[in-house]
Copies of this chain bind each other. A is one copy, B any other.
Amino acid sequence: MIYQIDTHAGVPIYRQIMDQLRRQILTGQMSEGEQIEQVRKLAARLKVNPMTISKAYAFLEQEGLLERRRGVGLFVASVATEKQSDTKKQLLDEAISKAAAEAIEMEVSEAEAIQIFQEHYRDLTSRKKGAQS
């Protein structure tokens, strides 16, 4: 998994890891039971202290998204799957709702807003395709 860490962002590193990993799990991009990258390896890869990684994992464990198997490693919890489909829709819904609210507050008509939406959608899609090829 690729982590985007911004050391100077104000947001603590452990929290950035939590957020990104949580998202991966809840959107189903990591399967149930899958092993999580080892604390020390990830620490070495991101060039941060192992405790920082450990802290992120510890909180996610408390959230019920990770499961510790003693002496073996950390895994995506089996419970996590239940929360997935809900979360996917919810994240999208929130973003779209926010966008609609902005449009209304800015007195932008539905048609205009949709047009802007389409532009962004197509732009992002073509970029993604470009990156893949």
- Spell out A's residues near B (CB within 8 Å): 7-8, 12-13, 27, 49, 59, 62, 67-71, 88-89, 91-93, 95-106, 108, 110, 113-114, 116-118, 120-122, 124-125, 128
Contact = CB atoms under 8 A, between A and B. Distances in A.
Copies of this chain in its oligomeric complex? 4
Contacts of A128: 104
Contacts of A125: 104
Contacts of A59: 62
22 contacts: A12-B70, A49-B71, A59-B62, A88-B106, A91-B102, A91-B106, A92-B102, A92-B108, A95-B95, A96-B99, A96-B102, A96-B116, A96-B120, A99-B117, A100-B121, A100-B124, A101-B124, A103-B121, A104-B121, A110-B122, A114-B114, A114-B117
Given A62-B62, A99-B99, A104-B125, A92 B114 contact: no
